[in-house]
Amino acid sequence: MALHLDVVGVVVADMARSLDFYRRLGLAIPPEADAEDHVEVTLPGGLRLAWDAVTMVRTFHPGWTPPTGSPRVSLAFRCADPAEVDRYWAELTGAGFHGELPPWDAFWGQRYAVLHDPDGNGVDLYAPLPG
Protein backbone atom coordinates (compact mmCIF):
# COMPACT_ATOMS: atom_id res chain seq x y z
CA MET A 1 0.00 0.00 0.00
CA ALA A 2 1.27 3.47 -0.85
CA LEU A 3 1.60 5.95 1.98
CA HIS A 4 -1.32 8.32 2.39
CA LEU A 5 -1.15 11.41 4.61
CA ASP A 6 -4.21 10.98 6.81
CA VAL A 7 -3.76 12.97 10.03
CA VAL A 8 -1.83 16.05 11.12
CA GLY A 9 -1.47 16.09 14.89
CA VAL A 10 -0.90 19.11 17.11
CA VAL A 11 0.10 18.92 20.79
CA VAL A 12 -1.64 21.58 22.87
CA ALA A 13 -1.17 23.00 26.35
CA ASP A 14 -4.73 24.41 26.61
CA MET A 15 -7.27 22.47 24.56
CA ALA A 16 -10.08 25.03 24.88
CA ARG A 17 -7.87 27.95 23.83
CA SER A 18 -6.42 26.03 20.88
CA LEU A 19 -9.82 24.88 19.66
CA ASP A 20 -11.11 28.46 19.96
CA PHE A 21 -8.35 29.54 17.55
CA TYR A 22 -9.25 26.88 14.98
CA ARG A 23 -12.99 27.45 15.34
CA ARG A 24 -12.37 31.08 14.40
CA LEU A 25 -10.90 29.74 11.14
CA GLY A 26 -14.20 28.03 10.47
CA LEU A 27 -13.47 24.47 11.60
CA ALA A 28 -16.56 22.73 12.95
CA ILE A 29 -15.44 21.56 16.38
CA PRO A 30 -18.18 20.84 18.95
CA PRO A 31 -18.02 22.87 22.19
CA GLU A 32 -17.84 19.74 24.35
CA ALA A 33 -14.48 18.93 22.74
CA ASP A 34 -12.87 21.63 24.92
CA ALA A 35 -12.78 19.19 27.84
CA GLU A 36 -11.29 16.25 25.88
CA ASP A 37 -7.64 15.08 25.81
CA HIS A 38 -7.86 14.10 22.12
CA VAL A 39 -9.94 15.82 19.45
CA GLU A 40 -10.01 15.39 15.70
CA VAL A 41 -11.96 16.75 12.76
CA THR A 42 -12.09 15.65 9.16
CA LEU A 43 -11.35 18.46 6.74
CA PRO A 44 -12.72 18.76 3.20
CA GLY A 45 -10.76 16.29 1.11
CA GLY A 46 -10.53 13.77 3.94
CA LEU A 47 -7.39 14.88 5.80
CA ARG A 48 -7.89 14.83 9.57
CA LEU A 49 -6.56 17.46 11.96
CA ALA A 50 -6.07 16.25 15.53
CA TRP A 51 -5.18 17.90 18.81
CA ASP A 52 -3.73 16.07 21.82
CA ALA A 53 -3.32 17.60 25.26
CA VAL A 54 0.22 17.50 26.66
CA THR A 55 -1.10 15.26 29.45
CA MET A 56 -2.34 12.76 26.85
CA VAL A 57 0.98 12.72 24.99
CA ARG A 58 2.87 12.13 28.20
CA THR A 59 0.82 8.97 28.88
CA PHE A 60 2.71 7.24 26.05
CA HIS A 61 5.79 9.50 25.79
CA PRO A 62 6.67 10.50 29.36
CA GLY A 63 9.78 12.43 28.33
CA TRP A 64 8.03 14.63 25.77
CA THR A 65 8.97 18.29 25.98
CA PRO A 66 7.70 21.13 23.81
CA PRO A 67 10.05 22.33 21.07
CA THR A 68 11.65 25.75 21.32
CA GLY A 69 12.36 28.40 18.73
CA SER A 70 10.39 29.17 15.61
CA PRO A 71 8.05 26.59 14.08
CA ARG A 72 9.44 24.47 11.27
CA VAL A 73 6.07 23.35 9.94
CA SER A 74 3.00 25.48 9.29
CA LEU A 75 -0.60 24.67 8.52
CA ALA A 76 -1.70 26.76 5.53
CA PHE A 77 -5.38 27.60 5.04
CA ARG A 78 -6.57 28.82 1.66
CA CYS A 79 -9.06 31.67 1.93
CA ALA A 80 -11.76 32.54 -0.58
CA ASP A 81 -10.17 35.86 -1.55
CA PRO A 82 -7.61 38.43 -0.31
CA ALA A 83 -10.24 40.22 1.81
CA GLU A 84 -10.84 36.99 3.73
CA VAL A 85 -7.13 36.78 4.60
CA ASP A 86 -7.39 40.28 6.06
CA ARG A 87 -10.65 39.46 7.88
CA TYR A 88 -9.27 36.32 9.54
CA TRP A 89 -6.08 38.18 10.47
CA ALA A 90 -8.07 41.00 12.10
CA GLU A 91 -10.41 38.61 13.92
CA LEU A 92 -7.67 36.38 15.32
CA THR A 93 -5.25 39.11 16.32
CA GLY A 94 -8.19 41.10 17.74
CA ALA A 95 -9.03 38.07 19.90
CA GLY A 96 -5.48 38.12 21.31
CA PHE A 97 -3.83 35.47 19.16
CA HIS A 98 -0.26 36.13 17.96
CA GLY A 99 0.13 37.64 14.52
CA GLU A 100 3.62 36.87 13.20
CA LEU A 101 3.49 38.53 9.75
CA PRO A 102 0.59 40.83 8.85
CA PRO A 103 -1.13 40.40 5.48
CA TRP A 104 0.90 41.37 2.43
CA ASP A 105 0.75 40.88 -1.31
CA ALA A 106 3.46 38.30 -1.92
CA PHE A 107 5.54 38.34 -5.08
CA TRP A 108 4.33 34.79 -5.87
CA GLY A 109 0.80 36.10 -6.47
CA GLN A 110 -0.98 35.56 -3.16
CA ARG A 111 -2.29 37.65 -0.30
CA TYR A 112 -0.47 36.05 2.63
CA ALA A 113 -0.35 36.30 6.43
CA VAL A 114 1.24 34.23 9.19
CA LEU A 115 -0.19 33.68 12.66
CA HIS A 116 0.78 31.43 15.52
CA ASP A 117 -1.77 29.27 17.27
CA PRO A 118 -1.71 29.30 21.10
CA ASP A 119 1.08 26.70 21.13
CA GLY A 120 3.32 28.62 18.72
CA ASN A 121 2.56 26.53 15.63
CA GLY A 122 2.65 28.44 12.36
CA VAL A 123 -0.71 28.99 10.70
CA ASP A 124 -0.59 30.63 7.28
CA LEU A 125 -3.54 32.25 5.54
CA TYR A 126 -3.45 32.85 1.80
CA ALA A 127 -5.58 33.62 -1.23
CA PRO A 128 -4.72 34.15 -4.89
CA LEU A 129 -4.43 37.79 -5.90
CA PRO A 130 -6.69 38.96 -8.72
CA GLY A 131 -4.98 38.36 -11.96
Lowest mean pLDDT among 34-43, 67-76, 109-118: 67-76
pLDDT digits (tens, 9 = 90+) for 25-38: 999 999 999 999 99
Rounded Cα distance, 83 and 26, in Å: 15
Using a pLDDT cut of 70, give the percent of the chain over it. 100
pLDDT at residue number 131: 81
Which residues, other chains included, contact 117 with Cβ-Cβ below 8 Å and sequence gap of 6+? 10, 18, 21, 22, 97, 123
Q: What is the pTM of this model?
A: 0.92
Residue 86 has pLDDT above 90, yes or no: yes
pLDDT digits (tens, 9 = 90+) for 89-126: 999 999 999 999 999 999 999 999 999 999 999 999 99
